[in-house]
Structure 1
Amino acid sequence: MGDLINNLSIGFGAAFTLQNLAYAFIGCLLGTLVGVLPGIGPVATIAMLLPATYALPPVAALIMLAGIYYGSQYGGSTTAILVNLPGESSSVVTVIDGYQMARQGRAGPALAAAGIGSFFAGCVGTLILAAFAPPLTEVAFKFGPAEYFSLMVLGLIGAVVLASGSLLKAVAMILLGLLIGLIGTDVNSGVARYSFDIPELTDGIGFIVIAMGVFGYGEIISNLSKPESEREVFTAKVQGLFPTKEDFKRMAPAMLRGTALGSALGILPGGGALLSAFAAYTIEKKIKLKPGEVPFGKGNIRGVAGPESANNAGAQTSFIPLLTLGIPPNAVMALMVGAMTIHNIQPGPQVMTSNPQLFWGLIVSMWIGNAMLVILNLPLIGVWIKFLTIPYRWLFPAIVLFCAIGVYSTNNNTWDIWMVAMFGVIGYTFIKLGCEPAPLLLGLILGPMMEENLRRALLLSRGDWSVFITRGLSASLLAAAALLLIIVLLPSVKRRREDVFHEEEA
């Protein structure tokens, strides 16, 4: 305990300088803005700002980039709730209930639930990061490629269990995601796969392109295909910006569950914040509805508070593998590695000992950043809601344009814009077929990582497949995955699951 207090005091000393506070604020503001504007993700923003950090001292640079990251988690929930566009991949689940709440005129409470959940989870996540980073550096060395592979298998099976509607469709979507993930250049041999001699496909299809096409454009086409009277337009007056007492009673336990789950899953390399948001939503769904509570998928506040808390806790604890192992668990963290290398800092277990100011300053700045986000965002809820009064004939072209600009700015090529349009049509087809696109995204993100770890594990074991079962940690992760599969395929569970989803659709 004494150590923790000492370490945190080093951090407060480093973070509480006027310059670092200013950069934390700029990061949070930029992050929120980036999250709110659909299509310009934190990855694109941080990538664009990396050259600008050359001139900054290392601590300030990392504090600003970290602010952009968790600010965008926050902002992502705003667009997810207001315009049904997940600004960030981990907000995909928030769309389900958050958007329904907004349509019922309860956008205020939904945004407040996301904000308060995020702040609470962020604080807890930061404390966990501070307390567990040192011992976790030890555990981290035990994770090999076999363990990573088994972990991701567990993640994908979790996604099947989570998807609403038919299990078959969910499995099909995951497989489609895995297949799309295979497009591109093979890591080991450098051969282009499934690129059909199209040079632009040798890098694979970007996650942003697919997410925006399937969710953003797909939704727009689906709305345009309806007669004007049926289109989803916000005519509802937004009543009460803040959650009622009843809302708080429902939100609080969901926030606690989401935070615990996010903190645990964020540590695991792989899509920590993303997986935890999905998992938190599943758990909330499994908990029996209280009398008078709105069903899930129809605007239940727990469906916003749980996943939002989880993805924020996950975003904080995903710094653990980065800072302890030097392994970036997601694309943003990979850019953070880039920022560290620019400043001649080798990410990995030695950062803590060789550069304690940076390590603990970054951790403390997250806590400050989370406080800034609440102060920034709750008063601005009214401003975000103003965005919704824009008539549809303005909003559609604007969203289409923003998405196009966002996609173009990531790689500066027009090919991506055509791809988004194509995936928009595919997304519309999914809506018509009643397929849920979320598992597709998960398959797409985890697919390439799974393949890499599978091949690495087999290279190390000289082609012996038993390596996945003989290593204890890997075997237990696979056993958990098998157990999940068996449970979901049991006739009684399957029947109950179908009943639950039919009620939702009814």
Structure 2
Amino acid sequence: MDLINNLTLGFGVAFTVQNLIYAFIGCLLGTLIGVLPGVGPVATIAMLLPATYALPPVAALIMLAGIYYGAQYGGSTTAILVNLPGEASSVVTVIDGHQMAKKGRAGPALAAAGIGSFFAGCVGTLILAAFAPPLTEVAFKFGPAEYFSLMVLGLIGAVVLASGSLIKAVAMIILGLLLGLVGTDVNSGVARYSFGIPELTDGISFIVIAMGVFGYGEIIHNLSHPPETRDVVTGKVEGIFPTATDFKRMFPAILRGTALGSALGILPGGGALLSAFAAYTIEKKTKLKPGEVPFGEGNIRGVAAPEAANNAGSQTSFIPLLTLGIPPNAVMALMVGAMTIHNIQPGPQVMTSNPELFWGLIASMWIGNLMLVILNLPLIGIWIKLLTVPYRWLFPAIVLFCAIGVYSTNNNTFDIWMVAIFGFIGYTFIKLGCEPAPLLLGLILGPMMEENLRRSLLLSRGDWSVFVTRPLSASLLAAAVLLLVVVLSPSIKKKSEEAFVED
């Protein structure tokens, strides 16, 4: 009964005209930011923080939350249509989504992303409302050793992701980890691998590598071929919405992605991001139905599951923020900033001292998810119109938007040169048949892995057995070893198709 009373209070707060307008503004801005390559929710929320001074606390948080989960929706649009993951979580959507678009199935791919996101968002919000306090206890059990083991499991999952050549997949992960080492050492504060270049002391941005390797690399690859043989998305479209068969295949994948995203989103660090990669890995290990397209060639499950996982994760990542005051990612850290601007101390007391804010924010997420579906599904037709633009006009626009997006994150021209360099590196990867997704996961998880490894060893006074004596850490490492055995077993290797190599 308490839950029903609390949700009634929340919907009463969220259904005021002012809060509905700010929820809509947040969702619209989030969608546009997701669609524009490079301009992520972190940069946008950081720019809009000063504007929230003038707003009431509930309206400000509702708008910022709308931007966050709206960007998860929008990020899939460019990933599917132009092979550009604007968000870290959209990296996996690129793999099958863009292949679907090349086959004239951009509409069903975008619809699968939208429907998966809506369902997962609603379930994630329900979990947030019902289980926030007990689920936070689970997150509390994770210390540095557990986080390190979780990330080892994530990286081994990335080996499963690239089922072309195992050696190439491992090489890409190692390259990603090495790129993650560039920057300032966490403990000593000394710059390393920066080669005396001041701009490298902050490390290499994910956006720079994603835009270069996926965006510019693909453009250089296409421009190296004559116009008639280019591997680009054309304007041909076979229906805007998924077929009955698509729905039948999509829904189990959406359910699996939602469950995984909801569980991993609670964990501080890369939980919500890992969920998209993990959801894709699970789908690849699920047997193909007769007549189903192989993964990497345009399987709708490869779009629906990661999109559901990253949206469920983005909703449940509010749990540690609202119940413990611990921001699990950069966006949530900015949300803490917005709360402190309005003299609200994030933590367990928010639920009791400010129930209108807590339950109003949760109720607004359901309304926001509904707004996003109403906004996004009719826009599918408009986004598909982009595909009718001739490639000779489209690629300069992509180059320009990438350059603007990358420049706007740090206001630094050095980043634009870096994107160009990684564009040629991305072209080399295409020529060598290497899949960049494991590289990006290595880049993101590398610094977090190193930080947690060093913290674990500091706390245990250099005793490496801490990783196997703690039950949760030992369980995660055992799962990683089991996954590695499965990947390396000859029978699995024989059956695995070259799913990621684009011909």
TM-score > 0.5, shorter chain as reference:
yes
Instruction: Assess, with a 3 A threshold, how the Cα gap between structure 1 residues 400 and 504 changes in structure 2: closer, same or farther.
Output: closer
Aligned-residue RMSD, C-alpha: 1.7
Q: Is the 8 A contact 1:35 1:73 kept in 2?
A: yes
2:242 & 2:493 partners in 1: Cα distance?
35
Query: Are the equivalent residues in 2 in contact too, given 1:323–1:348 (CA < 8 A)?
Result: yes
d(CA) in 2 for partners of 1:284, 1:138 = 29
Deviation, structure 1 residue 268: 2.0
Q: Which moved more, 1:353-362 or 1:413-422?
A: 353-362
Partner residue of 2:266? 267
- Does residue 458 of structure 1 match 2:446? no
Q: Where do residues 402-413 of structure 1 align in structure 2 (5 Å cutoff)?
A: 402-413=401-412
Distance of aligned partners of 1:353 and 1:479 in 2 relative to their CA distance in 1, 3 Å threshold: farther
1:333 alignment partner AA: M
1:247-258 aligned at under 5 Å gives the runs 247-258=246-257
1:221 corresponds to? 220
Give TM-score, length-normalised by structure 1.
0.95
- What residue is the counterpart of 2:286 in the other structure? 287
Q: Which residue of 1 aligns with 2:487?
A: 488
1:374 Cα shift?
Answer: 0.5
2:238 is aligned with 1:239: yes
Distance 1:410 1:502, change over 3 A: closer
User: Do the aligned partners of residues 230 and 134 (structure 1) sit closer, same or farther apart at CA in structure 2, a change above 3 Å counting?
Assistant: same
Partner in structure 2 of residue 204 of structure 1: 203
User: Is the 1:276–1:310 contact (alpha carbons within 8 Å) kept by the matching residues of 2?
Assistant: yes
What per-residue deviation string (whole Å, max 9, x for no partner) do you get for residues 79-121 of structure 1?
A: 1111111121111111111112112221111111111111111
Separation of aligned partners in 1, 2:180 and 2:143: 22
- Contact 2:209–2:419, Cα closer than 8 Å, also in 1: yes
CA distance in 2, matches of 1:142, 1:293: 41
Identity rate, percent = 87
Indicate conservation of the 8 Å contact 1:150/1:478, yes or no: yes
In 2, distance between residues paired with 1:153 and 1:488? 15
Counterpart in the other structure of 2:498: 501
Following the alignment from structure 2 to structure 1, what is the Cα–Cα distance between the partners of residues 369 and 442?
A: 30
C-alpha separation between the residues in 1 aligned to 2:214 and 2:327?
A: 26
Residue equivalent to 2:102: 103
Aligned 8 A contact 1:298 1:504 in 2: no
Asked if structure 2 preserves the Cα contact closer than 8 Å seen for 1:15 and 1:362, the reply is yes
Which one-letter code corresponds to 2:472 in the other structure? Answer: L
> Structure 2 length as normaliser, TM-score?
0.96
Q: Kindly state the Cα deviation for residue 200 of structure 1 after the two structures are TM-superposed.
A: 0.7
User: Alpha-carbon deviation of 1:209?
Assistant: 1.0
Secondary structure of the corresponding residue to residue 449 of structure 1? helix
* Matched residues, number: 503
Structure 1 counterpart of 2:257, one-letter code: G
Deviates more, 1:233-242 or 1:42-51: 233-242
SS in 2 for 1:358: helix
SS in 2 for 1:501: coil
The residue aligned with 1:171 is: 170
1:407 aligned partner, one-letter code? V
1:56 aligns with 2:55: yes
User: Deviation per CA, 1:305-334, whole angstroms, max 9, x where unpaired?
Assistant: 111111111111122222233333322222
Counterparts of 1:94-493 in structure 2 under 5 Å? 94-493=93-492
Tell whether the 8 Å contact from 1:140 to 1:325 is kept in structure 2 after alignment.
no
Partners of 1:276 and 1:307 within 8 A in 2: yes
For the structure 1 residues 496 and 337, does the alpha-carbon distance in structure 2 shift closer, same or farther, using more than 3 Å as the test? same
Q: Kindly state the Cα deviation for residue 505 of structure 1 after the two structures are TM-superposed.
A: 6.5
Matching residue's letter, 1:51: P
C-alpha change, 1:100 and 1:187, in structure 2 (3 Å) is same
| 5+ residue gaps, structure 1 | none
State the Cα distance separating 1:236 from its structure 2 match.
Answer: 4.1
Does the 8 Å contact 2:295/2:499 carry over to 1?
Answer: no
Once the two structures are superposed, what CA deviation does each residue of 1:188-220 show, in whole Å capped at 9, x if it has no partner?
211111111111111111111111111111111
How far apart are the structure 2 equivalents of 1:217 and 1:403? 9
Query: 1-side partners of 2:404 and 2:306: how far apart?
Result: 29
Aligned partner of residue 344 in structure 1, secondary structure = coil
List gaps (5 residues or longer) in structure 2: none
After superposition, the Cα gap between the structure-2 partners of 1:350 and 1:183, relative to the gap in structure 1 and judged at 3 Å, is farther
Rounded Cα–Cα distance in structure 2 between residues aligned with 1:429 and 1:326: 44
